[in-house]
Amino acid sequence: MKRTLFLTAALASLAGLLSPAAALASGDDRIAVEQPAAWMPLGELIAKLEGQGYSVLEAEREDGRYWQVRMQDANGMIVETYLDPATGMPANRIEREDD
């Protein structure tokens, strides 16, 4: 499951990286989202969160500014948060999902 999640997230990240490049190659200079200087690799982000006791369920880039991560804590609670793309530190408080 984790391997599939990782592969899916990696492919989604790659697609996100390629779309601005395609726009530039086609002469379209209307890229609206400013990208941070350096994004923490997804594998490194997942390893960091798992080291803190979370099981990552889903991770994706949100608005080109944050990692949006949905994960399960050690007590089985599903939480979602936005993380700084370079450091992996929370950009806001962690919220419990109510479903």
At 3 the pLDDT is: 53
How many Å apart are CA 6 and CA 50, to the nearest integer? Answer: 13
How many Å apart are CA 47 and CA 34, to the nearest integer? Answer: 26
Query: Is the entire prediction scored with pTM above 0.75?
Result: no
Nearest residue to 57 (alpha-carbon basis) of 1, 14, 97: 1
State whether residue 63 is helix, strand or coil: coil
As averages over each run of 10 residues, the pLDDT of the chain (99 residues) reads 50 48 51 64 95 95 90 94 92 65
How many Å apart are CA 77 and CA 87, to the nearest integer? Answer: 24
